[in-house]
Amino acid sequence: MNHKETSLLILRLGVLMTSLFSYFTAVGILSALLVDLSKEFGISVAGIGQLITISLITVGLSAPLIGPFSDRIGRKRIVVSAQIILALSLWGYGVSNSLTALIGFSLLLGLGGGMGMPFSLALVSDYFTSHTYGRALSIIHSGQPIASLMGVPIGAFIADRLGWHWSFFILGTFTLGTALVAQIVLLPSVVPPGEKKLSFFSNFIEAFRHQSFLPIIAGNTLLNIGHFAVATYLAAFLRQTYSLSIWQVAPFLLMIGVGQLAGVLAGGPVADKLNKTKILIVTQFFAGLTSFVLMGWPKGLFFSVLLGGVFMGFYSSNRPAFLSLMVSLSDRVRGTVMGIQATSNRLGQALGAASGGLVLSWLGYSYLGVFCIVLSLLASAVFFYVSYFIKETSYPINEMVGN
C-alpha cells in the first residue's frame, strides 16, 4: 500500500469516526446546557432532559429499521445522509424558539444517530480485512470518548462565550462539512444482487438464523445494563461522596474519560489477535469487579477516580471485540445486524440508567456495584456459552469468534 492509499484510508477512518463524534458531542452539549435551556424555555431541568431520552429512543427504534435498507442501497448513502440529517437537526436546535421545535429536532437528531453510528461501523468491511477489523473499529468507536474529552468542552466554551445557539450552529456546520468529505472519499458500497432479493423481514430472519447472534445480543444488552447502571451515576457518586462542586468534579471526569479512550484504542489490537468472545468474558468480569470495589470501598478521591478510569477502560476495551463479531457475522445482512446491535446498546443504556436509579434510591451507591457485578457475571456466562457450547452455525464459529 503506497502513501496515497494509506492517507486515504486514514481519512476514511476519520470521516467514519466523525459520525459517532458528532452525535455524542450533540448529546453531551445538550446535557451540559440543560440549565441554560431550562431558563430559556421556562421548563424544569428534568423536563428538558427528556430531549436526550427522545433522541436515544429514536436511535434505538430507527437503527434496526434502517438496517435492511442499508443492505439494499449501500451503506455509504446511509452514512452521508445521516451526517446531513445530524447537521440539519443541530441547526434546528440553534434556531428553536419553542419546546415543540426542540422535541422535533431531537427526533431528527436521533434519526441521524440511528442512521449514522451503526452503519459507519459496518463500512469497515468495505475497506479492511477481517484480521484488522478490531483496530479499525477501535479508531471509529473512539469518536464517543473523544466527544466527551474534546467536543463537549469546546461546545460548552462556545456557549459560554457566544451563547448556546452558536454551539449547535458551529457543530452543525462541522458535521455538514464531514458529510461533504464523506461523499468524496467513501467508496460506494458493493451490494451483490443476491442481497437485493431479500424482503424487508427476510433480512431479520437471515440475521437470527445464525445460532450465535441472539445470545451475543442478549449478552451485550446485559453488559450495557450493568455498565450504565454505574456510569450514569458516577459523577454524582464522586460529588456526593467527596463533597465536590460541578466545577471541581469536571477535571476528574476528564481523567476517567482518558481511561475510556485508552481502553477502546487498546482493545482494537487485542481483538485482532485473540478470541473475541473470550475477550468479552474477561473484560466484562473485571469491569464488574472494578465497579464493586469502586462503589463499595470509597477510600479516597484519587483512588475512586483511578478505579472509575479502570472501570470505563475495561468496558470500552471490549467494544472492538464485540463490534468485530457483529461485522463478521454475515456479509448479506451486515447492515441489519449492525442496526440490531445498536438497539441493544441503547436498550442497555436506558435500562441501566433506570434500574440503576431504582437501586440507588432504595439501597445506595454501594449496591450499584453489586448490581453491576451480578449483571457482568451473567453477561460473561452468556459469552462463555457462545464460545464453548455453540458449535454449529452457518459460518464456522472459530472464524467468527477468534483467530
Q: What is the pLDDT of residues 26-56, one digit of tens each?
A: 888 887 777 778 788 888 766 777 788 888 8
pLDDT of 345 above 80: yes
pLDDT of 128 above 70: yes
pLDDT at 98: 86
CATH 1.20.1250.20 range(s) for the chain read 1-181, 200-403
Q: Per-residue pLDDT averaged across 277-289, rounded?
A: 92
pTM summary value: 0.82
- Annotation: CATH topology of 200-403: Growth Hormone; Chain: A; (1.20.1250)
pLDDT of 293 above 90: yes
Q: How many CA atoms lie within 13 A of 322 on its CB side?
A: 31
pLDDT of 400 above 50: no
Q: Per-residue pLDDT averaged across 370-376, rounded?
A: 93
The CATH classification number of 1-181 equals 1.20.1250.20
Residue 391 to residues 106, 212, 328, 394, Cα–Cα distance (Å): 43, 9, 17, 10
Name the most confidently modeled range: 305-309, 329-333, 346-350: 305-309
Residue 320 near residue 275 (C-beta atoms within 8 A): no
pLDDT at 393: 42
Rounded-to-integer distance, Cα 54 and Cα 17, Å: 23
Which of the four pLDDT bands, split at 50, 70 and 90, describes residue 374?
Answer: very high
Name which residue leads in pLDDT, 189 or 164.
164
Tell me which DSSP letter residue 128 carries.
S
Among 350, 345, 357, which Cα is nearest to 53's?
350
Secondary structure of residue 362 in the 3-state scheme = helix
pLDDT of 391 above 70: no
pLDDT at 200: 67
Rounded-to-integer distance, Cα 240 and Cα 250, Å: 14
Q: Per-residue pLDDT averaged across 312-325, rounded?
A: 91
pLDDT at 3: 67
